[in-house]
């Protein structure tokens, strides 16, 4: 872990590294939340609650970063916090430049946190960002600079900027300390930070030899000073007392800090460990005389702040629990084994007399019901809403539209639709390319849209919905659509067979050809012909399909259909000789009895069957997989029509065994890759059945 400061954890006797992962996860959630709030902020009429929520995100990250010694993160978030504080207090009016700088700061924070998490990379230079944030705080326009002044570059601590208020005197007590050198380091740190104030040593009290006293002249808030000092000592060893010449005067009814101290105090700290707003030190610490016992600074967190409009930011929800993906996968595997065992018991019990074994059959029926309920409950754990994928597109689209000089609005529908986590991770890249494609190739420039009678702001819609046992994700835009003549011309230039008589759907599918691009010039956004073929290949590898519909001048729609999960699927069992194969039920169209007259031979070896005036290729599974047959006179008489990748084939089988849920096992990782096979499962009788790759069979028929 880069640049870890462990002095604090060692002095407190607590190993803070055990909390790192929780902090990183919470900081990531806060950054994502802050980005969404910034993107949705109406700068012409900013909502106070939204500004407060953005402030709390930055404040929570700063508190955790300071606790763990991530000084670069604490410094940047502190400056962001200062700007956000002025915005929520209406001392400054939000504008587009502020949003840009805050979004860029969020990106820098993500990079810094990734580096501290051990993901490598060089130190992030935030000099320009800090300069711009400070300029915005001062009411000036942010500018790009070659080299902004570095403030306390050698100090591993956040820069505490003095607010524009009069300085005050404060007594600081640090201790009891086992190593008094820590107090000297704290004093030197205070002196090195420009603009923080002055610090002077005070004589020790007779009964407190291990406690050091200092006289501070500063305008900074106690919370900022506390964050700074805990880089060298623990919070419990820091106490602030108001200063008077000759001693400390305290009104027990008012507490220690009043007047200037309370006025300069910032928003109450949101503790990383308690995840609740803490009261300012001034409202908690109290004493009755100059020699009163010191109150630990950390006790400030014990009393909630009396601000109803400031809910706790960040932190773990009491209604949720964090569990590693490995544990969930293990649970799903165990449930899969339970499903197989239950199927075995059910199959072996079919020959039992239900009268003699009434209690046993009743128990097996209950086991079947409970197993299905357990299976659905466990599978739902891996299901996460599509909002986790959709949430990254507003920022990406905003930046891309600005780069291209276009005006684009993103509409998201069905964000609560759930999909298996493994699929969500793999569908993100294809969707990203589709959205970029819509913005770059689909949506026109504002002037062109106005000339065509369209609103200058284009619309890209992301929609997700459940349809049967699948999820359908659509990317739609109201742009120029696809030009049929241009596609056919480009295809012929690439040497692709593209007759004028081809259907619209076949024409649209030309863009999935490798190296195909309709862009007139290559840019850093698109035009190299790498993308749409990869999109289709990735979606097909997930057992999904992709379809395109377009109307020139009105827009384009790309529909991606995926199974809800890859772990358990509904399948149809078919028998070929002594073997059993599984067909994904979502790919099965129909089945029918066939006779020899219905099958025609073409080209000497190819065979087709006519189904309702449509000819489709026939694939004999017996020959494809070399199934041994001992009943030589038997002829297969059943055909199952399946479809994938826009094509249909008829599979010749011996019998239909029924429909059932099967647990998918990865054949490639347990054995090796087998052509035309996507996986395997264990049947109720203990035999292994192979799951057919329908897409591969369709491609085989085309060749």
Give 520-530 pLDDT, tens digit per residue.
554 545 543 44
Task: Classify each residue of 423-438 as buried b or exposed e, where b means 16 or more C-beta atoms within 10 Å of its C-beta.
Answer: bbebbeebbbbbbbbb
Give residue limits of the domains in the chain: 7-137, 168-302, 328-384, 386-563, 568-702
pLDDT tops 90 at residue 151: no
For position 119, what pLDDT does the model report?
67
In this prediction, residue 319 has a pLDDT band, given cuts at 50, 70 and 90, of low
Residues above pLDDT 90, as percent of the chain:
9
Q: Is the dihedral of CA 490, 493, 499, 505 positive or negative?
A: negative
Intrachain domains 7-137 and 568-702 with the same fold: no
In this prediction, residue 3 has a pLDDT band, given cuts at 50, 70 and 90, of very low
Which residues 6+ apart lie within 8 Å of 17 measured at CB?
1, 4, 9
pLDDT tops 80 at residue 178: no
Q: How far apart are CA 11 and CA 444, in angstroms?
A: 61
For position 63, what pLDDT does the model report?
81
Task: Give the CA-trace dihedral at 107, 111, 117, 123, to 10 degrees.
Answer: -150
Looking up tokens 């007399």 gives 353
pLDDT tops 80 at residue 295: no
**Cβ neighbours of 145 (radius 10 Å):** 12
Give 384-418 pLDDT, tens digit per residue.
888 888 888 888 888 888 888 999 999 999 988 88
Instruction: Provide the whole-model pTM.
Output: 0.53
pLDDT tops 80 at residue 428: yes
Architecture of domain 7-137: Up-down Bundle (1.20)
| Mean pLDDT to the nearest integer, 325-347 | 84
Q: How far apart are CA 182 and CA 7, in angstroms?
A: 9
For position 396, what pLDDT does the model report?
86
Q: Which of 279, 146, 167 is nearest to 219 (CA)?
A: 167
| Mean pLDDT to the nearest integer, 298-304 | 32
For position 583, what pLDDT does the model report?
92
Q: How far apart are CA 536 and CA 545, in angstroms?
A: 8
pLDDT tops 70 at residue 579: yes
> Distances in Å between the alpha carbon of 324 and those of 56, 374, 381, 643?
27, 20, 12, 37
Q: How far apart are CA 296 and CA 294, in angstroms?
A: 6
Q: Which two tokens stand for residue 695?
A: 């897409």
| Mean pLDDT to the nearest integer, 250-263 | 35
The CATH fold assigned to 568-702 is OB fold (Dihydrolipoamide Acetyltransferase, E2P) (2.40.50)
**To the nearest whole number, what is the mean pLDDT of the chain?**
75
Please report the DSSP string for 495-535 in residue order: T----TT--HHHHHGGGGSTT----SS--SSS-SS-SHHHH
Higher pLDDT among residues 659 and 195, named by residue:
659
pLDDT tops 70 at residue 12: no
pLDDT tops 50 at residue 154: no
- CATH 3.40.50.1100 applies to domain 386-563: no
Q: Is the dihedral of CA 50, 56, 59, 60 positive or negative?
A: negative
CA 521-527-531 angle, 5° bins: 175
Which residues 6+ apart lie within 8 Å of 53 measured at CB?
33, 37, 313
For position 6, what pLDDT does the model report?
41
């Amino acid at each position: 872990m880069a640049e870890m400061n462990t002095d604090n954890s060692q002095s407190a006797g607590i190993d803070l590294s055990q909390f790192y992962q929780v902090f990183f996860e919470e900081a990531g959630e806060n950054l994502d939340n802050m980005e969404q709030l910034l993107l949705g902020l109406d700068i012409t009429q900013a909502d106070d609650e939204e500004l407060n929520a953005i402030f709390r995100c930055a404040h929570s990250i700063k508190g955790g970063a300071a606790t763990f010694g991530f000084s670069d993160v604490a410094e940047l978030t502190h400056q962001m916090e200062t700007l956000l504080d002025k915005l929520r207090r209406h001392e400054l009016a939000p504008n587009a430049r502020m949003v840009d700088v805050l979004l860029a700061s969020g990106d820098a924070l993500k990079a810094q946190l990734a580096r501290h998490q051990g993901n490598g990379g060089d130190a992030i230079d935030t000099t320009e960002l800090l300069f711009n944030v400070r300029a915005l705080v001062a009411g000036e326009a942010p500018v790009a600079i070659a080299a902004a002044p570095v403030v306390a570059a050698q100090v591993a601590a956040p820069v505490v900027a003095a607010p524009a208020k009069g300085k005050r005197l404060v007594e600081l007590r640090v201790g009891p300390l086992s190593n008094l050198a820590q107090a000297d380091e704290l004093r030197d740190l205070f002196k090195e930070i420009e603009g923080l104030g002055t610090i002077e040593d005070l004589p020790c009290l007779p009964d407190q030899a291990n406690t050091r006293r200092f006289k501070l002249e500063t305008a900074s808030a106690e919370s900022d000073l506390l964050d700074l000092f805990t880089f060298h000592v623990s919070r419990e060893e820091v106490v602030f007392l108001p200063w008077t010449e000759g001693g400390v005067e305290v009104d027990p009814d008012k507490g220690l800090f009043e007047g200037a101290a309370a006025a300069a105090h910032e928003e109450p700290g949101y503790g990383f460990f308690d995840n609740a707003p803490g009261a300012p030190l001034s409202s908690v610490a109290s004493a009755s005389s100059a020699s009163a016992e010191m109150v630990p600074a950390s006790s400030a967190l014990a009393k909630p702040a009396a601000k109803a409009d400031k809910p706790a930011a960040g932190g773990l929800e009491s209604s949720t629990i964090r569990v590693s993906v490995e544990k969930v996968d293990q649970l799903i595997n165990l449930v899969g084994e339970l499903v197989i065992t239950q199927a075995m018991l059910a199959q072996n019990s079919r020959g039992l007399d239900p009268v003699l074994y009434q209690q046993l059959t009743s128990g097996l029926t209950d086991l079947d019901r409970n197993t299905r309920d357990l299976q659905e409950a466990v599978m739902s754990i891996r299901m996460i809403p599509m909002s986790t994928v959709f949430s990254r597109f507003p920022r990406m689209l905003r930046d891309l539209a600005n780069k291209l000089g276009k005006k684009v609005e993103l509409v998201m529908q069905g964000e609560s639709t759930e999909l298996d986590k493994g699929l969500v991770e793999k569908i993100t890249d294809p969707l990203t390319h589709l959205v970029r494609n819509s913005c770059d190739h689909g949506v026109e420039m504002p002037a062109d849209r106005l000339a065509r009678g369209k609103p200058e702001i284009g619309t890209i819609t992301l929609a997700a919905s459940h349809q049967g046992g699948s999820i359908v994700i659509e990317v739609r835009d109201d742009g120029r659509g696809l030009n049929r003549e241009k596609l056919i011309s480009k295809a012929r230039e690439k040497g692709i067979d593209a007759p004028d008589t081809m259907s619209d759907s076949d024409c649209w599918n030309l863009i999935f050809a490798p190296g195909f691009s309709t862009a007139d010039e290559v840019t850093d956004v698109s035009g190299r012909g790498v993308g749409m073929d990869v999109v289709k290949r990735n979606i097909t590898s997930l057992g999904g399909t992709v379809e395109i519909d377009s109307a020139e001048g009105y827009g384009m729609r790309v529909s991606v259909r995926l199974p809800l999960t890859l772990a358990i699927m509904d399948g149809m069992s078919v028998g070929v000789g002594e073997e059993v194969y599984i067909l994904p039920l979502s790919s099965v169209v129909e089945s029918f009895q066939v006779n020899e007259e219905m099958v025609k031979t073409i080209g000497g070896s190819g065979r087709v069957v006519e189904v309702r005036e449509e000819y489709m290729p026939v694939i004999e599974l017996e020959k494809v997989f070399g199934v041994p047959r001992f009943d030589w006179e038997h002829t297969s008489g059943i055909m199952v029509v399946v479809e994938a990748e826009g094509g249909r084939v008829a599979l010749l089988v011996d019998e239909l065994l029924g429909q059932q849920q099967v647990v998918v096992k990865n054949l490639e990782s347990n054995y090796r890759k087998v052509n035309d096979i996507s996986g395997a499962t264990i049947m109720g009788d203990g035999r292994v059945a192979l799951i057919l790759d329908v897409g591969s069979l369709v491609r085989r028929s085309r060749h």
